[in-house]
Amino acid sequence: MIKAWIALLGCFLVAALAAAATSDPPPIKVIDRYDHISTGFVLDGRHAEIGCDTCHAKAVFRGTPRTCAACHNNVRAEGKTFRHIPTTDACVSCHTTKDWLTARFDHSGVVSNCVSCHNNFQAPGKTANHPPTGNQCQDCHRAIHWNQLLPGAAS
């Protein structure tokens, strides 16, 4: 009778260990002391707000992508929309991890006219309350600070 109980207990332990070994690992917890900067990928902005297992699936750390497009490809995370201005520049040239919707762009080297990008499709153009005019944008606005009118421009 005792041998039967020991055998039953042994079977139970083997089954419990087998079940534990095949289950998914527990979610990764943030380790406050971990120096993420040493990986070459600083956790700031929205990246600091997500759980480790969002990028490190099943606790696999090696081979984690370091470029924006590797994750922001509309499969793992939202990427460029079809309305995005065509560019081959790196995402960080215009966007930050804190607020990717607000793009910063140095217009000083732009040679095309404003409406080629600011057409209310790829980027905002004239607002609904803009005074009617046949002027080109640069006749009244600066390329770098478009909301500041040039001296002598009508407001």
> Do 114 and 76 have their domain in common?
no
> Do 112 and 61 have their domain in common?
no
Structural domain contains residue 55: yes
Which residue, 60, 87, 114, sits at the end of a domain? 87
User: How many domains does the chain contain in total?
Assistant: 2
pLDDT of residue 148: 64
Query: Per-residue confidence at 152, pLDDT binned at 50, 70, 90?
Result: low
> Do 29 and 83 have their domain in common?
yes
> Do 120 and 79 have their domain in common?
no
> Is the pLDDT score of 12 beyond 80?
no
Average pLDDT over residues 109-126: 78
pLDDT of residue 54: 82
- Which domain range does residue 66 map to? 24-87
pLDDT of residue 147: 63
Per-residue pLDDT tens for 120-146? 777 778 888 888 888 888 788 876 666
Per-residue pLDDT tens for 61-106? 888 888 888 888 777 777 787 778 777 878 888 888 887 777 777 7
The CA distance from 81 to 83, in Å, is: 5
Structural domain contains residue 137: yes
Average pLDDT over residues 10-15: 74
Burial letters for 57-91: b for 16+ Cβ neighbours within 10 Å, e otherwise? eeeeeeeeeeebeebbeeeeeeeeeeeebeeeeeb
